[in-house]
A and B are shown apart, each in its own frame.
Chain A
Amino acid sequence: MQIDKNTVKKIALLSRLELDEKESELYSSQLAAILSYIDKLNEIDTKDVLPTSHVLSTLKNVFRKDSLKSSLDAADALSNAPSKEGDFFKVPQVIEGK
């Protein structure tokens, strides 16, 4: 599978990362090398194989009872905030609608 500079830039935007020309070039060549190594997987026929997203195949239906636990104080919730106003987290203006 090929991965060129433009693909890397697209992926970077999706990941909210910014790459300069040099970085785009470096990452695209490194990712290309890794992906071509990874392509080894195509040697295996997995047509009828079920995917494993959990290794503990017996683990299922893990629930919590609907009972209240104490929340953090707003002050603690906000204690790490780079920017806040009152009890709110503060961010650059959001133009509503994604």
Chain B
Amino acid sequence: MENLYSLTAHELKKKIDSEGLAPSGILDSLIKRIESVDKKIKAFVSLNKGASVLSKERRGKLYGIPVLVKDNICVKGEETTCASRILKGFKPPYDATVIKRLKDEGAVLIGKSNMDEFAFGSSCETSCYGPTRNPWDTDRIPGGSSGGSAAAVASDQTILALGSDTGGSIRQPASLCGVVGLKPTYGRVSRYGLIAFASSLDQIGPITKDVTDTALVMNVIAGYDEMDSTCVDMPVPDYTKSLVKDVKGLRIGVPKEYFIEGIDTEVEAGVRGSIDLLRDLGARIVEITLPHTQYAVSTYYIVAPAEASSNLARFDGVQYGFRAQDAKDLVDMYIKTRSKGFGNEAKRRILLGTYCLCAGYYDAYYLKAQKVRTKIKEDFDKAFKLCDLIATPTTPTPAFRIGEKTLDPLSMYLSDIFTISANLAGLPAISIPCGFSKNSLPIGLHMLAKPFDEETLLRAAYTFEQNTDYHKRKPGL
């Protein structure tokens, strides 16, 4: 008998609908898998063995399908910590909008996944629970910050997962773990209930085993929410209709700025080969330029920490989470709580962000970055006059070793170099498996589309996937 845990959501859906497979069967299969595998991977921060379908009235779009949720998305009554000591024990009194929608559609929430603390990181090493490991090589990082979600999908410990993406936090781990990760257009999915890192950049998105599953999840989580002012009120297409094996005539832009110094040769070869394949399938390849690409990391590392420094101010030990006990007065309570509650990377970003917003520095840093952000966005506006999609590598290198970059924050920051621009410009972007290195480490193809054109993204990704089998390879665990 085949292992249910190794199937995709659309395969399981079929079994549920036509073969009468019970949701509990899937859950049992997964729990056995998790119990045997997760000690090596450490993708879960909490596992809900008693999970079940909560909506009894109808069979929803994800009826009986297990979903793993990144630990920065609020689930009512379930501990939600952002992998930080400061939120230990926090049980939100409400569901995030995406969680409400998943529940309404019959999804089974099996637990919370590990992440970099408050999503600050690209390796899952800053978690207070310790690092998650890459299923393809457990000495390596799974990427981050949604490393737990990506590693769990790659190691068949969940069928679907949610991540969040502020500078690449869905796509980079998806790429490094060999799975599919989509960051929707800013405003496509409600952020209500996503514990904010950088409000103007954050988006929730799916991490799945294949493109079809991504479309299924998007059909549930996308769409207007009156609880989020930045969530756009426009119709949501049926994304499964985009699962068309055809890229004929599609213009794919390849920015020359993404294939320069520092990029791993195997990554470059893999991505170039994938672009060639898309051309062979009928797409037109156009060389484009995104001249401000080299400024994206700088811009991001001002905007994101600045917003984060303010978003994280609320963690002060008054209403929820950790409070230091030995304080001599109020200010001391704040300081001790935050100093003990936050890890080093969180402190570093809070300091950097606070600095950039200070009276004497605001114009030179924050305002400047907001202006460069305009230039970066204009680059894309121009480029999308010449093409329908942009294809790049997701990451400059395959997964690096645990501990390799922890002492050098800047080199860690630079590993987001290809994914950050999509957040700064608010664009939808996807990473799909497109090859492997000699060491059997996954390589990801990164594609970006115009705002709210997830459909073209899915179409190209689906076409590529149907003509390759990278997504079917499984790590040997």
Contacts and interface: CB of A to CB of B under 8 A. Distances in A.
Contacts of A72: 93
Given A1-B364, A41-B299, A55 B321 contact: no
B374 A38 contact: no
A41 B187 CA distance: 27
A38 B339 contact: no
A68 interface: no
Contacts of A49: 371-372, 374-375
Nearest to B374: A52
Contacts, number: 160
B439 interface: no
A38 B292 CA distance: 13
B468 to A, nearest CB: 32
B373 A11 contact: no
Interface string A10-49: 0111111111000000010011011101111111101001
A80 B91 contact: yes
Given A46-B368, A59-B187, A15 B321 contact: no
Contacts of B322: 82
A80 B321 contact: yes
Contacts of B232: 56, 59
Contacts of B375: 44, 46, 49
Contacts of B321: 80, 82
B339 A54 contact: no
B230 interface: yes
B323 A82 contact: yes
B294 interface: yes
B309 interface: yes
B260 interface: no
A16 B354 CA distance: 11
A83 interface: yes
Given A15-B354, A56-B230, A92-B329, A44 B295 contact: yes
B318 A91 contact: yes
A16 B230 contact: no
A34 B347 CA distance: 14
Contacts of A40: 294-295, 298
Nearest to A13: B335
B371 A50 contact: yes
Nearest to B89: A80
A70 B443 CA distance: 48
Nearest to A14: B354
Nearest to A47: B371
Interface in B195-210: 200
Contacts of A64: 226
Given A31-B355, A46-B368, A82-B320, A92 B299 contact: no
Contacts of A80: 89-91, 93, 319-321
Contacts of B355: 3, 7, 11, 31, 35
Given A37-B301, A52-B377, 16 more contacts: A16-B334, A17-B347, A18-B335, A34-B410, A37-B297, A41-B298, A41-B372, A49-B374, A49-B375, A50-B374, A51-B373, A55-B200, A55-B451, A79-B91, A81-B320, A83-B323
Q: Which 8 A-B pairs have the closest CB atoms?
A: A55-B426, A51-B370, A80-B320, A82-B323, A46-B371, A62-B229, A16-B334, A49-B371
Interface of A: 1, 3, 7-8, 11-19, 27, 30-31, 33-35, 37-44, 46, 49-56, 59, 62, 64, 72, 76-77, 79-83, 89, 91-94
21 contacts: A1-B361, A3-B355, A15-B351, A16-B338, A17-B338, A17-B342, A30-B348, A33-B410, A34-B409, A35-B352, A44-B295, A44-B372, A49-B374, A55-B424, A56-B426, A59-B187, A77-B93, A81-B318, A81-B320, A82-B318, A82-B323
